[in-house]
Amino acid sequence: MSWWKNNRRVLLGISGGIAAYKAPEIVRGLRRTGCEVDIILTEAAESFVSPLVLGTLSGRRVWRQKDFLSPAGGAQIPHITLAGRAETLCVAPATANTLRRAARGEAETLLGAAILATRAPVVLFPAMNEHMWDHPTTRRSVEECRAWGYGVVEPEEGALACGYEGRGRLPSVEVILEEIWRRLRPLPDLVGRKVVITAGPTWEFLDPVRFISNPSSGRMGFALARTAWYRGAQVCLISGPVALSPLHGVRHISVTSAEEMRRAVLAEMDDAAVIVKAAAVGDYRGASPSSQKIKREGQALRTIDLVANPDIAAEVGSRKRPHQILVGFAAETEDLRAHAEEKMRRKNLDFIAANLVSGEEGAFRRETNRVELLSPWAEDQVLAGSKDEVADGIWDAVVQRLSQV
């Protein structure tokens, strides 16, 4: 987990829709990182979720509509205090009525007044019947909210509580948390930049049931994609076969072989500011793959003729323009620095993240990583920690270089 997710202050507004039942899980997800979660529960929302449950999970007072103008708070003005404390304000679910009030700046409710008073990023998660979502009034409210600078995350398609099937479902808790993290990221320094990242292994089939590959899990590449999206980038992730779920907000391209990955990278690189080659691409493939399963009884498997795969990083390095940054990885078992420096020169890399893949520090299939980040443009540094933390360290160096080209 990245350091900046710890101990943040989130104001969660819950309005009166059936999707409010997901609110306790949102609170739990935020609390797992140590976030302080203040909650405003609208009067209608109390019909769907209990203040007692939310207060128990958050460990804090749950603010209700009856607290808005109550003298019980003394000199404390709830909507000003809550709005001022928050580092981000999210509303999940946001009903059609809540969207309308936010769009028009109506402040007759505690939640509406807090939205109007805060200077923190605001993100709204609409959830309603599909016909209500498609109504011109709702669409106008969404447009007006976005014009005010509020984030509006469109609902998902699927089965709705009302019995309809269509768009209107509150996004998953995981998606909601990712959107909150993006607003809490302290440095949105990749906004407007396209980045292309490769991840995972490649499979080179010898016959329909056998292939040459490696143990890469793709976690490092996915961490680079996730943290780049947090920082505001437009992310294209080109991934070999992995057992990881697609990342929210990231455009995925799935490939199998090294040649498929090469074609995808070359097709995406022209308008990219940064290309990161984090995939463990197979160096070789079978010279003559069989269209039928090679039988055990035969002699064919005793000797496998191999041919070299294209060197994607070297080809990108020869094609990239002066304003583009190319980051490579070197997975080595010995002479780490010497091999990494030679690869950086030969492939025209701006940075290379070199790590050992053998012994106790081996990076394959681990949640942590340790790399030496080398560059002709910056001082060498060692990055260690979770793969998200290592990825953030790489992006810090890349952003600094982008400011110079």
Catalytic residue among 35, 90, 145, 162, which?
Answer: 162
d(CA 357, CA 81): 51
Q: Tokens at residue 325, please?
A: 């940054």
Nearest to 20 by CA among 88, 100, 94: 94
271: amino acid identity, one letter: D
Runs of H (alpha helix) within 185-257: 219-230
Q: At what angle do helices 23-31 and 51-58 cross, to 10 degrees?
A: 10
| CB-count exposure of residue 253 (10 Å: 0-12, 13-18, 19+) | middle
Q: Tokens at residue 398, please?
A: 């890349």
Residues 6+ apart with CB under 8 A from 269: 196, 275, 316, 319, 320, 324
The single residue listed with the structure tokens 């103008």 is 69
Contact (CB, 8 A) for 62 and 27: no
Q: Tokens at residue 137, please?
A: 């009034």
Q: Name beta bridge partners: 62.
A: 39
Q: Tokens at residue 278, please?
A: 């984090």
Nearest to 326 by CA among 340, 341, 308, 314: 314
Q: At what angle do helices 219-230 and 173-184 cross, to 10 degrees?
A: 60
Nearest to 2 by CA among 389, 382, 385: 389
Q: Tokens at residue 89, please?
A: 């304000």
Contact (CB, 8 A) for 140 and 108: no
d(CA 222, CA 220): 5
**3-state helix/strand/coil string of 289-345:** CCCCCCCCCCCHHHCCCEEECCCHHHHHHHHCCCCCEEEEEEEECCCHHHHHHHHHH
d(CA 195, CA 400): 15
User: Residue 162 catalytic?
Assistant: yes
Residues 6+ apart with CB under 8 A from 304: 206, 286
- Residues annotated as catalytic are 162
